[in-house]
Amino acid sequence: MPGVNSTSAADMAFTLLLFFLLTTSMDTNWGLARQLPPPPQKEKKDEVDINKRNILLVMISYDNRIMCAGEEVSLAQLKIKTKEFLENPTNSDHLPEKKLVDIPFIGEQLITADHLISLQCDRGTNYQSYIDVQNELAAAYNELRDEAARRFFNVRFNALDDERKDAIAKIYYKQKISEAEPKEYGDKKSRRR
């Protein structure tokens, strides 16, 4: 009984695989855009003193409640509090100290150059809650950058050239988010409630 000749089946499968690999687009816009710090120097151990008023502590509990600066907030409130922290519009004593900085294309401005947002999660925190908080923190930076671009250049931030974008994103509103390793906060009895 004669069989079907399948010697070219492998060639056809390889051709189809190659065709789909080359014609399919890969969406690479997933994930969180973060610039990682350089690896630590082994012989150099610098300890940085940060004034307590320059740190915004954001915590997510095991039951996904958000604490910002010592009080429980919603996601929408988190963005508002973060923007207020980053701007310090009234130069308040409980918000980051402002420094006079010469910014290219803008000139000398009082900005919160030494601010830091410290994000801490409990080990039981839902991953979606973590992503939602990250998105709100990034949205606060994005809105402030867009407002600065409109104020100084009369265009949206995304319409700026690279040099002006850098002046706003790397100096005026530089994103500084520190993430601590997740821990279990509180005792086991209080966690079960």
Token digits of residue 116: 């830091």
Tell me: pLDDT of 182 over 80: no
Domain ranges of the chain: 53-192
Span 19-40, pLDDT tens digits: 888 888 766 666 666 666 666 6
Cα–Cα distance measured from residue 141 to residue 129, given in angstroms and rounded to the nearest whole number? 19
What pLDDT is stored for residue 31 in this prediction?
Answer: 62
- Residue of 119, 120, 122 whose CA lies nearest to 175: 119
pTM higher than the cut 0.85: no
pLDDT-above-70 percentage for the chain:
82
